[in-house]
Structure 1
Amino acid sequence: MKSARLWTRNFVSVSASSFFLFLAFYYLLVVLPIYSIQSLHGRESEAGLIVTVFLVAAILVRPLAGRWMERFGTHRVFLLSLVIFAGMASLYTLPSSMAGLLLLRFLQGIGFGMATTAAGSIVAAIVPDSRRGEGMGYYAMSMNLAMVLGPFLGLTALHKWGGGVMFLLSFLFAAGALAAAFLIRVPEQSSVRPAAKASILEMSALRISLIAAVFALVYASILSFVSVYAKKIGLESVSSYFFVVYAAVLLLSRPFTGRLYDRYGANSIVYPAFFCFAAGMLLLSQAEAAAGFLTAAGLIGLGWGTLFPSFQTIAIQGASPARRGAATATFLSIFDFGIGIGSFLVGLLAVHVSFRSLYGYSAIIIAAGAVMYGVLQAQANRSKRNLQKKQAS
């Protein structure tokens, strides 16, 4: 039988739109803390709030976005969200204080939360059921590429071209997301239902989402402060290459880790990934030269780059087919909350504890998360065996 078409104009357009949306997100995520400290004379605790207020706004607006999509249609809400996101991106040169920058971040976070919720609903509506896993994998890859390119481009722009060009590029990325969204044609009959479901928590995904949030606390310290840390230890010239190495290892390992997951199950790659992630954080805490700094990037890319999609897959697989959209929304919302809280806490702690110590202590958090995961898996296996016994009897 001929398989259903995946690479339609709708699928390419929503993937491209999400790529540019997340490119702008990750781009600003790494440069704004530095910009706020250097240009707005903010403290490191306030720099952590830049991420927190953005993600809090995104989390708060998602349930409302579901209602708006139900009333006005998913595509209209998606377009409106990207207008808000791009509009706020055009204003970054205006704030002259941390308060103004935080307000701008909160408003842009509203657009981001609406956009990510609507985009997930559109993808759920247009990907053929027979190619659901493949389609979601390629869609997620667009965001993974943005996660890699955004920090590299942001740090390059900050160090070479200054704030004006840096913020112009962020606006162009946001405008690219809006332009691609105009090419989408969502089937009218399926534009409402996924949106309503995506705004409701999926309880089966809750436990693995909370575990992912624990690891997000650690990852937030990388996203928000690795460039600040590199400057403090005299490695500012190679800080932008951190995410290049991270990306290269992530992309090269993804086909192998994916096959191992499918063939031997999640544990076959999750436990080695815990070790790589912890080892990378320990090495980062002790880095004094470019070699150690970039080797740490590779280990973190292999570790966290494997854990994140594995956790998301577990969250989706635990839900019924009709609830997979809700499981994805639950996972991302709780994960975003972990990133936001982590950025804020690291900013607060950095006033009293060195980044070297913080990155070293992160290995303890990873170990605690690994224990939590092991307990979760044991409970899940017991529940599965009990269900099989009941069905057999």
Structure 2
Amino acid sequence: MDTKDKQNPALWNRNFVQCCLSYFLMNFAFYMLVPTLPVYLVDELGIEASEVGLVMASYTIGLMCVRPFSGYLVDCFSRKPLYLFSFIVFAGLFAGYLVAVTMAGIIAVRFLQGGFMGLTSVSGNTIAIDVIPSQRRGEGMGFYGLAVNLGMSLAPLAALPLYGWKGFDSLVVAGLMIAFIGVFSVSLIRYPKRERVSRPSFSLDRFILLKALPAAFSYMFVAIPYGMILSFVVLYGKETGISDPGYFFIFMAVGVGTSRLVSGRLVDHGKIHTVSVCSLVSLVISFMLFALVHNEILFFSLALTIGMGFGISVPAFQCLFVNVAPHHMRGTATSTFLTSLDLGVGIGMLSAGFIASYTNLSVAYLSGAGCCVASLLVYLCWVRDSYERNKL
């Protein structure tokens, strides 16, 4: 291998392709249910609309119960067998929707599926980090994260017509089959068995990467407006007179996808702080305009810039976590990264509804801009110096 190859090793090898494909299929299968399950609950099972939120939130509760421990499991046991096991259980739980015909039964299925999706995502992310050449980690994680966005964006486009044509059971069977194709993709990853690593009995870093706490606080703040977008942007569009506000997510996905084509490379070339700060400044401006100016052209234009802001930030922030963790703690680093995202999204979903009940969603999104300012201040005052001291 010549010097050029060593400096710029291949990214799209067999293992990385299978990592991206399996992660895409997992998210595609799961997000097929997100727009259709509420309709099924109300129209076919007769569940009150006010109770649908509890059913949908049970997945998040399961996710949060498992996420803090998943990094420890990934760091202490062989990663590929753990990934396969959790993915198989996650996929198999789709069958639970076929037999659970009560609200309590569906809550139980979603709670379990959320827990195993939490373990699957952490183990899959960690394996992806391991197979990506360190010189191209930012670029690789940008493309790997794009698999999530593609799954989230394309799944509803396929799910809604299928639900209308064949019904919920056929949709669930399709999700089951797609998830098991993802399991097969995981089995094709060539990943060496890993010996169990002994850890201190009562060590906090079993569950949280302490060196990454500054980045976790900053990322949690910026994830709050992301949660607001996921849960209330369609309602906000209707309130402000936007026709077809659901297209917001397509423009946002385009922004995420295009930005990740370049942001990861900038991170790999030592521009991690520049990329992070620029993304946060962009989000501050975008959310301020989103809250204060209401017209259709700007609504969809800001969907694009908000997507670009989040798309730029994700590979940069994930590298802030991974680059301060030794190899045997990459699972903990990934778990800490995803936990900070989950906390921020959850806070955003709850706070937007609370704020809107007293004022309106414009105020909620303006507070989201304030959260981005808080994230920027934490980054400038704490994250940057902490990262430079602790990076490996």
Which band: TM-score by shorter chain? 0.7 to 0.9
Residues in 2 aligned to 1:282 and 1:273: alpha-carbon distance in whole angstroms: 14
Instruction: Select which of 302, 319, 325 maps to 1:313.
Output: 319
Aligned to 1:29: 34
Residues in 1 aligned to 2:61 and 2:87: alpha-carbon distance in whole angstroms: 18
| Unmatched runs of 5 consecutive residues or more in structure 2 | none
Change (3 A) 1:274 1:233: closer
**Conserved? CA contact 1:89–1:171, under 8 Å:** yes
| Unmatched runs of 5 consecutive residues or more in structure 1 | 388-393
Q: Show CA shifts across 1:226-267 (max 9, x none).
A: 45666788978x455332221222223334555666554532
Instruction: Select which of 222, 234, 239 maps to 2:229.
Output: 222
**TM-score (ref. length: structure 1):** 0.78
Q: Show CA shifts across 1:104-132 (max 9, x none).
A: 11010122012112212322333334443
Q: CA RMSD in A?
A: 3.9
Instruction: Select which of 193, 200, 212 maps to 1:205.
Output: 212
Counterpart of 1:250, as a letter, is: V
- Say whether residues 1:143 and 2:148 are aligned partners: yes
Deviation at 1:213, TM superposition (A): 2.4
Q: Show CA shifts across 1:298-354 (max 9, x none).
A: 24323333333443333344556765543222011121233234445556777x468
Change (3 A) 1:162 1:275: farther
Residues in 2 aligned to 1:16 and 1:82: alpha-carbon distance in whole angstroms: 13
**Conserved? CA contact 1:125–1:194, under 8 Å:** no
Deviation at 1:212, TM superposition (A): 2.5
Residues in 1 aligned to 2:281 and 2:300: alpha-carbon distance in whole angstroms: 23
Residues in 1 aligned to 2:340 and 2:97: alpha-carbon distance in whole angstroms: 27
Instruction: Select which of 18, 26, 34 maps to 1:13.
Output: 18
- Say whether residues 1:272 and 2:306 are aligned partners: no
Aligned to 1:327: 333
Residues in 2 aligned to 1:178 and 1:384: alpha-carbon distance in whole angstroms: 36
Q: Show CA shifts across 1:71-123 (max 9, x none).
A: 76322221221121111122324433433222111010122012112212322
Q: Show CA shifts across 1:29-68 (max 9, x none).
A: 3443454444445456543334432133223224554565
Residues in 1 aligned to 2:199 and 2:111: alpha-carbon distance in whole angstroms: 23
Instruction: Select which of 132, 142, 152 maps to 2:137.
Output: 132
> Any idea what SS the aligned residue of 1:90 has?
helix
Number of equivalences: 378
**Conserved? CA contact 2:78–2:196, under 8 Å:** yes
Q: Percent identity?
A: 30
Residues in 1 aligned to 2:387 and 2:70: alpha-carbon distance in whole angstroms: 35
Aligned to 1:187: 192
Aligned to 1:373: 376
Which deviates the most, 266-275 or 107-116?
Answer: 266-275
Counterpart of 1:26, as a letter, is: Y
**TM-score (ref. length: structure 2):** 0.78
Q: Show CA shifts across 1:173-226 (max 9, x none).
A: 3222212112123202x4655999995311222233233223333322332454
Residues in 2 aligned to 1:319 and 1:75: alpha-carbon distance in whole angstroms: 20
Aligned to 2:361: 358
Change (3 A) 1:346 1:156: farther
Change (3 A) 1:294 1:335: same
**Conserved? CA contact 1:17–1:181, under 8 Å:** yes
Instruction: Select which of 109, 119, 125 maps to 2:124.
Output: 119
Change (3 A) 1:187 1:97: same
Residues in 1 aligned to 2:45 and 2:237: alpha-carbon distance in whole angstroms: 20
Aligned to 1:251: 257
Change (3 A) 1:305 1:72: closer
**Conserved? CA contact 2:224–2:371, under 8 Å:** no
Aligned to 1:390: none
Residues in 2 aligned to 1:194 and 1:129: alpha-carbon distance in whole angstroms: 25
Deviation at 1:295, TM superposition (A): 3.6
> Any idea what SS the aligned residue of 1:266 has?
helix
**Conserved? CA contact 1:50–1:102, under 8 Å:** yes
Counterpart of 1:221, as a letter, is: M
